């Protein structure tokens, strides 16, 4: 296992290259920055800047760690994910492009079409809400690149530590109900989404991202077209007013600012579906190896993983007290069967209590009690095992060129005094 790296707040020097002709902040400010092209690289509009020259995303907890501001990407420290249901303010943000500014919910529409759709049909948001039954599910959303920062040699992309995950409650309609209303042909194999965000280059002909899922995942009861998170409108940065949610699959499949779904007779080939994007080698490869495109496969359900959300790493623990440890565990389309913790770097493991998920594709909560033999430094490690008997690795899982699927055990530091 690689040593825990401290996560630095994004600094001006680490920020992305200045990109001409785009209004990254327009969606946040609610208006255009007229002289944007003169705004120096790395300088945050003062209206959005905090004392620490960090970057506060409206509606989000100021303690989210901003990894990148062009586009905006922010993750949640583990101890802030302690709630059973992730508050909207603490759900991470991952943007590939520029979010739409001035979203008008009254005129928002969703169009379903494609070679395997029986017709082309457009719904207003109001029609979607009126015509179809509403469902609420707690669904785990985790970026495929969560944990990327630990890979060596490093992989390009957002250097997520452990916080590109959350499990809020989502309300919307079943994608299956809408697809059945349109009618899908027997040739349907995949769905693809398009959102109203724009490409970083400002080129209107390019999509920032257009991914999707196989038709069987699309038709599952928990696969939603959602407009609400925890009973309120989606936050602007999480796809307001409409998005897809496929719990347990790489969150890149959960299209935000959704305005079009295509029903495909082949694997969807939109932006970031092809090449190396969201793909991993079929077979294990040596770290740093070059892998040919044809040897890579699309990531489907995410592997077993867990987080220690209490206590916060670095806690001072009195020797005479028992310590309550808790967190969440999740795995793609299945259930976590067993949860264990260790205080001796994995020599021995203690099974802890584990709850059932609120519904399929929701994370489960676990809790245990620890006592320590003597004063000194310890680490608590946490390990989830899924219903197929697959456990989280204690060291990094297989290296892959883009740094996806790091489900190594989460560790926290404890000093017993
Ligand atoms: N339209 C659109 N949908 C998108 C993205 C995006 O950039 N644009 N990013 C995807 C990726 S890579 C992730 S990890 C999730 C992040 O969802 P969140 O920002 O609500 O946490 O949204 C996915 N859906
Ligand atoms: Mo992602």
CATH number at residue 401: 2.60.40.650
The CATH number given to whatever domain includes residue 204 is 3.90.420.10
Q: Are residues 321 and 180 in the same domain?
A: no
Read off the pLDDT band of 21 (50, 70, 90).
very low
Residue 212: which of 175, 160, 166 has the closest Cα? 175
Q: Are residues 157 and 236 in the same domain?
A: yes
Domain stop point among 298, 329, 354: 298
189 C-beta neighbours (distance < 10 Å), count: 15
The predicted model scores a pTM of 0.89
- The C-alpha R_g of the chain, in whole angstroms, comes to 22
97 CA → ligand 1 middle, Å? 9
For a mutational test of ligand 1's pocket, the pick from 64, 99, 251, i.e. the residue with the most ligand atoms closer than 8 A to its C-beta, is 251
Q: Are residues 266 and 350 in the same domain?
A: no
Region of poorest pLDDT, from 12-26, 207-221, 224-238, 395-409: 12-26
51 CA → ligand 2 middle, Å? 29
In whole angstroms, give the CA distance from residue 108 to residue 411: 44
Quick one: which ligand is closest to 252's CA?
1
Average pLDDT, the chain: 90
Residue 356 lies in a domain: yes
> Would you state the pLDDT for residue 51?
45
Give tens-digit pLDDT for 184-196.
999 999 999 999 9
Residue 4 lies in a domain: no
In whole angstroms, give the CA distance from residue 74 to residue 108: 27
Residues with CB under 6 A from ligand 1: 91-97, 141, 143, 195, 197, 208-209, 238-239, 251-252, 254-257
> Would you state the pLDDT for residue 54?
61
Q: Are residues 270 and 192 in the same domain?
A: yes
CA angle 402, 404, 405 (to 5 degrees): 160
Is residue 225 within 8 A of residue 111, CB to CB? The reply is no
Range of the domain at 173: 88-298
For a mutational test of ligand 1's pocket, the pick from 86, 103, 209, i.e. the residue with the most ligand atoms closer than 8 A to its C-beta, is 209
Residue 19: which of 185, 203, 178 has the closest Cα? 203
Q: Are residues 331 and 277 in the same domain?
A: no
158 CA → ligand 2 middle, Å? 9
Average pLDDT of 157-173?
A: 96
Domain stop point among 255, 280, 298: 298
Domain stop point among 298, 330, 350: 298
Give tens-digit pLDDT for 51-100.
444 667 889 999 999 887 778 899 999 999 999 999 999 999 999 999 99
> Would you state the pLDDT for residue 16?
35
> Would you state the pLDDT for residue 38?
73
What is the DSSP code string of 156-178? SS----S-SEE--EEEEEEHHHH
Q: Are residues 173 and 309 in the same domain?
A: no
Q: Which residues pair with 199 in a beta bridge?
A: none
Residue 238 lies in a domain: yes
Give tens-digit pLDDT for 316-350.
999 999 999 999 999 999 999 999 999 999 999 99
Residue 307: which of 357, 225, 381, 252 has the closest Cα? 381
**Percent of the chain at pLDDT exceeding 70:** 88
Residue 69 lies in a domain: no
Q: Are residues 286 and 343 in the same domain?
A: no
Structural domains counted in the chain: 2
């Amino acid at each position: 296992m690689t040593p825990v790296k401290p996560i630095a707040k994004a600094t001006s020097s680490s920020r992305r290259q200045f990109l001409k002709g785009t209004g990254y902040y327009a969606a946040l400010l609610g208006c255009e920055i007229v002289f944007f092209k003169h705004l120096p690289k790395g300088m945050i509009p003062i209206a959005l800047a905090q004392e620490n020259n960090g970057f506060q995303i409206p509606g989000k907890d100021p303690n989210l760690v901003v990894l990148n501001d062009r586009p905006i990407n922010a993750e949640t420290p583990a101890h802030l994910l302690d709630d059973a249901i992730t508050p909207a303010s603490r759900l991470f943000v991952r943007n590939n492009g520029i979010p739409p500014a001035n979203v008008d919910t009254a005129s928002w529409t969703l169009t379903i079409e494609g070679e395997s759709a029986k017709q082309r049909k457009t719904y207003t948001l109001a029609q979607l809400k009126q015509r179809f039954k509403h469902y609420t599910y707690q669904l785990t959303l985790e970026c495929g690149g969560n944990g990327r920062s630990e890979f060596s040699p490093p992989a390009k992309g957002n250097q997520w530590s452990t916080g590109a995950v959350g499990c809020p409650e989502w309300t919307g309609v079943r994608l299956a109900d809408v697809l059945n209303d349109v009618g899908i042909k027997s040739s349907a194999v995949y769905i693809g989404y398009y959102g109203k965000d724009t490409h970083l280059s400002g080129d209107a002909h390019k999509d920032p991202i257009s991914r999707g899922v196989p038709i069987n995942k699309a038709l599952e009861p928990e696969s939603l077209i959602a407009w609400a998170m925890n009973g309120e409108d989606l936050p602007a940065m999480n796809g307001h007013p409409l998005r897809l949610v496929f719990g347990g699959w790489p969150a890149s499949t959960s299209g935000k600012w959704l305005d079009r779904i295509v029903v495909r007779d082949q694997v969807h080939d939109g932006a970031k579906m092809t090449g190396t994007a969201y793909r991993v080698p079929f077979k294990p490869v040596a770290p740093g190896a070059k892998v040919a495109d044809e040897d890579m496969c699309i990531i489907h359900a995410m592997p077993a993983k867990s987080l220690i959300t209490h206590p916060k790493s670095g806690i001072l623990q009195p020797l005479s007290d028992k310590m309550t440890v808790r967190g969440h565990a999740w795995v793609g389309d299945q259930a976590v069967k067993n949860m264990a913790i260790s205080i001796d770097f994995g020599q021995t493991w203690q099974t802890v209590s584990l709850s059932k998920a609120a519904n399929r594709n929701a994370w489960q909560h676990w809790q245990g009690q620890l006592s320590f033999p003597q004063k000194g430094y310890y680490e608590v490690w946490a390990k989830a095992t899924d219903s197929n008997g697959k456990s989280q690795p204690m060291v990094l899982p297989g290296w892959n060129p883009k740094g996806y699927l790091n489900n190594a055990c989460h560790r926290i530091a404890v000093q017993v005094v």
